[in-house]
Structure 1
Amino acid sequence: MAGFNDNTGKGDLSKVTKQVWRENCFPEWGTWLNEEIEDTVVPENNFAMWWLGCTGIWVKTPASANICIDLWLGTGKRGKRAWDFPYSQGKDFQMYYMNGGPTYQPNTRTVPMVIDPFEIKEIDAVLSTHMHRDHIDQYVAAAIVQNFGDIPFIGPKFCCNIWRSWGVPEDRLKEVKPGDVIKIKDMEIIAVESFDRTALITAPLQSPDMKGVCPTDMNERAVSYIIKTPGGTLYHSGDSHFANMYFKHGRDYDIDVALASFGENPAGLTDKMTSADCLRMAECLNANVLIPYHYDIWCNMLADPSEIEYLYQFKAPRLDYKFHVYIWQVGGCYMYPRDKDKKRFMFNRGFHDAFTDVPNLPFESFL
């Protein structure tokens, strides 16, 4: 049915099935972003990153080091009457563990899938910060295992247990803990402490392979990543809450861009950082740019990042913040330091290049 949507009136509706619709429309962006990432040549002394939804980030360097962190291409609830796996575990569901509230949560995915994992052509590593389902993905794992013979999967012990249970070969698993360093081309990845306290209380009792008890040490459940590149240093906090230890990380590392897990917490939950927490995080890290993420993905925690901007405007004159806030869009590219002074993202509107063929239209005939 390729070309059916050409608005010419041609086609046979009897041949348009649910499967045809799926193949024509999902993922919603097709290979557009795959191609953009492949085609982007990162200038010297810069690094580029794309927001893939939730805390999913793709990072690319001048030497074409390509990594994805927390890329998740699954869904939340897909049916109201029938509880859908994997977000319908009743009292095993993490929201129940967190506040004892209703086991049925209206958590549907609210942003499109902007990248096709099976059309990835260049990648050097798959990273995960922790074991929650919106941060580690079986579709991504399957695509990379099937299409690449030696790309490593990097994460804490619990993540490696999950990948192993899915069939990722043992020699491709790279277990990390805070302090571990991995070098890829012109990129250096440093695992540091995570402050995702939710990860301590929401894991199942059994390990994924059902052969042992899940790790109970935070360092085995979750890490954050510091990504050093020729253009600057990125701090990927995963799902971390606010912690005073950000101050130590800010003194131990020269952080340029900090990604903060922001969201509208339901009553009884402290699952995401508040706007005030995000500002405190950036100040403690001594960062140059604060970028919130994760607020986009779940309908029951959907937040407005303008709140961070407003609070920043209130506090900055008094507190003399070194950093500024940048509000991104899923699917968008941010390049540092090229974009370091920008405050908000806007997609290319298609009018930046010089017009070569201006139609002879009566633009002002209605005046």
Structure 2
Amino acid sequence: MVHSDWGDWLLRAVEDADPDGLAVWYLGCNGFVLKASDGTTLFVDPYLGTGDPPRTVRMIPVPFDPADVREADAVLATHEHTDHVHGPSQAPIIAGTDATYYAPDAGLDVVETEGWIDEWDLDDDRFVEVTEGDSFEVGGVTVRVEGANDPDAEHPVSYVIEHAGRTFFHGGDARPGEAFADVGERYDIDLGVLAFGSVGMIRDRETGEPTRTRWYSDENMIVEAAGQLDLDRLQPTHWDMWRGMTADPTALFDHARSFDAPRRVEIREIGDRTDV
């Protein structure tokens, strides 16, 4: 069960919005909701859980209750980790709307293991497996599935999302690598979001002992990834989420200053809207 700290004002703001092109709202962690000029609405990696205290402790508000979502055409997952594939956060969105769920095979394995279909009375055809090289249309939005270098994930992907001549890129939790360089060569990305965080002491899942842990790119790595993608605009994500792994995104202004890309670093907080 998810309990919102904010009521439903953010969802209603998205519903009421009438963007000229493509608008995105940051949901904290690595989650986004996108709305196109034709009303098409997509969620990417929405996570409304509180973690697994004391190992992982959420540091930001829960912005909405997924049962309050009234408009959604698709939910996209980048990889199988619980803050990206999470039944209590995502299954109610599918159950309460006509949305289709898109995820790589490892993400759909989580769906099966957690019993989403039975628990939320969903049909099998609401779930679609995606892999690198796939593309599909959701309303007036084109989604292209690309590769990602996330050494902690079994099968990560990234998404290039296009509408009305604007291009949004979601890299999941991935770090610099050949996959991003390939994406940068083939697309002109207007706004890209990449996970950013510190190295922290996180309890080992098996032993419970605090262990030096890296889950996301640091300052130098995220700028390297943004350069591979040749981003016009970089929005760092995930820096706000986990106790012991948070980071200061304003540090990226100095790290990016001497490079050709990203041409601009944009810092957004949970609930903020950006036009692509």
Settle same-fold status: TM greater than 0.5.
yes
Aligned equivalent of 2:8: 31
Cα distance in structure 1, aligned partners of 2:82 and 2:160: 22
Count residues in correspondence.
260
Higher relative CO (CA 8 A, sep ≥ 6), structure 1 or 2? Answer: 2
Cα distance in structure 1, aligned partners of 2:260 and 2:195: 23
8 Å Cα contact 1:52/1:115 also seen in 2? no
Aligned equivalent of 1:42: 19
Question: Where does structure 1 lack aligned partners over 5 or more consecutive residues?
Answer: 1-21, 81-104, 201-220, 337-367
Cα distance in structure 1, aligned partners of 2:179 and 2:129: 23
SS of corresponding position for 1:299: coil
Q: Identify which of 168, 179, 182 aligns with 1:245.
A: 179
Deviation, structure 1 residue 32: 0.6
Q: Is the aligned partner of 1:156 residue 2:104? A: yes
Cα distance in structure 2, aligned partners of 1:270 and 1:110: 18
SS of corresponding position for 1:199: coil
Deviation, structure 1 residue 140: 3.0
SS of corresponding position for 2:176: coil
Paired residue type of 1:156: P
Identical-residue share of aligned pairs (%): 29
8 Å Cα contact 1:234/1:258 also seen in 2? yes
**Larger strand fraction of residues:** 2
Cα distance in structure 2, aligned partners of 1:170 and 1:230: 31
Q: Is the aligned partner of 1:296 residue 2:240? A: yes
Cα distance in structure 2, aligned partners of 1:30 and 1:231: 34
8 Å Cα contact 2:232/2:261 also seen in 1? no
Deviation, structure 1 residue 75: 1.0
Q: Identify which of 36, 45, 48 aligns with 1:73.
A: 48
With over 3 angstroms needed to count, the CA separation of the structure-2 counterparts of 1:75 and 1:276, relative to structure 1, is: same
Cα distance in structure 2, aligned partners of 1:322 and 1:48: 20
Q: Is the aligned partner of 1:330 residue 2:270? A: yes
8 Å Cα contact 2:193/2:237 also seen in 1? yes
8 Å Cα contact 2:78/2:157 also seen in 1? yes
- State which structure, 1 or 2, has the greater radius of gyration over its C-alpha atoms: 1
8 Å Cα contact 1:53/1:111 also seen in 2? yes
8 Å Cα contact 1:52/1:114 also seen in 2? yes
SS of corresponding position for 1:308: helix
Deviation, structure 1 residue 151: 2.1
Within a 5 Å distance, the mapping from 1:178-327 to structure 2 comes to 178-200=132-154, 221-266=155-200, 268-313=212-257, 316=258, 319-321=259-261, 323-327=263-267
With over 3 angstroms needed to count, the CA separation of the structure-2 counterparts of 1:60 and 1:231, relative to structure 1, is: farther
Paired residue type of 1:38: E
Could you give the per-residue CA deviations for residues 182-215 of structure 1, whole angstroms, max 9, x where no partner exists? Answer: 1012110011112111114xxxxxxxxxxxxxxx
Could you give the per-residue CA deviations for residues 38-79 of structure 1, whole angstroms, max 9, x where no partner exists? Answer: 000011xx210001111101011100110001001111244x
Deviation, structure 1 residue 116: 2.2
Could you give the per-residue CA deviations for residues 164-194 of structure 1, whole angstroms, max 9, x where no partner exists? Answer: 3321421111100001001012110011112
8 Å Cα contact 1:34/1:116 also seen in 2? no
Cα distance in structure 2, aligned partners of 1:115 and 1:33: 7
Deviation, structure 1 residue 322: 5.8
Within a 5 Å distance, the mapping from 1:123-134 to structure 2 comes to 123-134=72-83
Alignment root-mean-square deviation, CA: 1.9
8 Å Cα contact 1:257/1:290 also seen in 2? yes
Question: Where does structure 2 lack aligned partners over 5 or more consecutive residues?
Answer: 202-211
Aligned equivalent of 2:131: 177
Aligned equivalent of 2:33: 58
Cα distance in structure 1, aligned partners of 2:261 and 2:215: 26
Structure 1 segments (4+ residues) deviating >6 Å: none
Aligned equivalent of 2:204: none
Q: Is the aligned partner of 1:111 residue 2:85? A: no
SS of corresponding position for 1:292: strand
Q: Identify which of 125, 140, 144 aligns with 2:93.
A: 144
Cα distance in structure 2, aligned partners of 1:227 and 1:279: 21
Could you give the per-residue CA deviations for residues 61-112 of structure 1, whole angstroms, max 9, x where no partner exists? Answer: 100110001001111244x5xxxxxxxxxxxxxxxxxxxxxxxx3x210000
